[in-house]
Structure 1
């Protein structure tokens, strides 16, 4: 039976994933069997079906051939191709909107979902010093939009480990730092997020290589996202995700308690405010 093109005004990834599940089951294949034909894991197929990962054109063409879907998936990949985020981060940002839990380690800069407008602006100007004001404003707004997932009072659970250097590095100005740290403290005090600070005194630790984000979902396998300078990798291999999960557990073990962390965040914010007045 011929399929109609998906409506791009709806959720393209979710709709395409649902169609993939129907087509796969009609062909009598398990997720692992389809994954084997595509040289990916069964969990990757599960994430495509749940809409937590984007289907790329090369996979869509192979799926059409394997499941005899008459080019349906290749035709509809266009609805997924556009993203307001950089290519290396697009899939991770889209997955955030579907998460049950997010656990993140931020070594140098405060997490994007916790940034204020002024802080985000200073970060993007540092990243792209020759960009126009229009470009910077769009980047800032896109980053602020990601924080919408925290508008729900309970879901997702957001747990972050901040390296002390992220608190101490002055981004923008001392006024900007005071504002963003007060913002984070307010989220903590309303019990919307959990934050621990990894102090300088912790010394060497399990994630000195860079940032780490772990995401779990209601009906799809977990993902890990690691990021460097203008590069990021979304990982779904169960053993790799488990290893990164252990890394995060070790970070929390070496960090200050939530109450001690809040006290430090508010103390550093107060210092920034005092420096302004001085």
Structure 2
């Protein structure tokens, strides 16, 4: 490749999709901070400042500020004038609302996907959900969440309902934070038993009603498990959560 010359040498680098470098850095900062919050490596209620985040994640001031503005708009953090920011808390109401919607949408997706799924794809994802990898519990949960999300989204996609896909995608993203808080803080891995396998059989057979029934039962069972763990984690972290500034290792002071 020829070296740039003249005025070309002063042009700012662009990303592969044509985004200016500053925009790309802001997007990367947003993705990094959102991932930390959703995975509960930044616990609900944790307080922090721009400077602390910039130092911990090697972020530029402008990128960090834009990322925090977006996270505030998304409801993940709240601005506290002259006192920095606070990670949005998780409440029992959050668990109830998210799972109440999933209880309605998952059976709807299963009905629409009956007879239209790719068995091989679902079986690979189901096996990934149950796989035990030789890493710490936190990373095991991250692996489970990604595989579990992919399993449920594959069913939603097979239903052919794009609006349903978008709605369920958002709910599964929100659920990630609940599971990370409940199971991650408690140091245990979710156990989904055989619900996924049963769903696959009904979906492949084209039995829409049976698939919907299993989907509903699965969500209701998982809700009870998650609620129990979230309540335990909220109790365990209540002392440090509301006012704990973030440290370089993610712990609270």
TM over 0.5, shorter chain:
no
**TM-score when normalising by structure 1:** 0.27
TM-score (ref. length: structure 2):
0.29
Higher relative contact order (CA 8 A, sep 6+): 2
Which has more strand, going by share of residues?
1
**Structure showing the higher helix proportion among its residues:** 2
